[in-house]
Amino acid sequence: MINLIPRLALPLMLLTAGPTLAHTLPDPMEILSGRPAGADPHDPMTAIVAKADAGKPQAAEQEFDGLPAGAGAEETYYQCVACHSVQIIQQQRVTDHRWDELWRWMVEAQGMAEPDPETKELILAYLKQNFSSQR
């Protein structure tokens, strides 16, 4: 039993060091969090063009956790946040065709409940309008 303690010391130390180190390292994205979009046009981590009304969120943006206002925002919010955060949606910049593929994959492989055809088309149109690499 006494010989077991030295053998377990290193693995236990490594197991507890990982989470401790993760909390002490600085978050590289935290530096950018206070800067407005377009603050430095040469910085690839910020947007090139700032929104004219960047400081004033629209009602839909406030109500639906930051989704842009527009037809389909509410439907998109309630369909998508059942499985993941709004931030997952906001970071997507895929083609219109890829949105169709992602929808099919979420239904077939991930078990997403598919709404009626009209709601599906409304949500896909909203996603393509606001989160497409083609616009």
What tens digit of pLDDT does each residue of 102-133 get? 999 999 999 999 999 999 999 999 999 999 99
Q: Which residues contact 35 (CB under 8 A, 6 or more apart)?
A: 46
Name the residue ranges covered by the structural domains of the chain: 59-130
- Domain spanning 59-130: CATH 1.10.760: yes
**Helix, strand, coil proportions of the chain in percent (round to 5)?**
50, 0, 45
Angle between helices 96-108 and 117-130 (to 10 degrees): 130
Q: How far apart are CA 69 and CA 126, in angstroms?
A: 10
What tens digit of pLDDT does each residue of 53-86 get? 444 445 555 678 789 999 999 999 999 999 999 9
Model pTM? 0.56
